Amino acid sequence: MSIDEEKRQLQTRIKIEGTVDKKVFENFKHVLTLETEKAEAEDRAEPSVSHVLEMLLRKGIKTYHNNRKT
């Protein structure tokens, strides 16, 4: 990774911290397991926890906005 790319990632990615209900966390772990199994079956790299969390946040935000339009 180049120095410029590292700087760009530091400017666009932030670390967040929070608490969630235990059921939400269990559901997240289940999705992470499914995504990991899918990646293995497709001979792809295993997704990181951050990648799966970001995917779920993006989909949730998109759903939120779509529901507000109706």
- DSSP per-residue string spanning 4-28: HHHHHHHHH---------HHHHHHH
Check pLDDT > 90 for residue 6.
no
Please state, as a whole number, how many other Cβ atoms lie within 10 Å of the Cβ of residue 10.
9
| pTM: predicted TM-score of the whole model, two decimal places | 0.77
Q: Which of the listed ranges 6-20, 28-42, 56-70 does the model predict with the highest average pLDDT?
A: 28-42
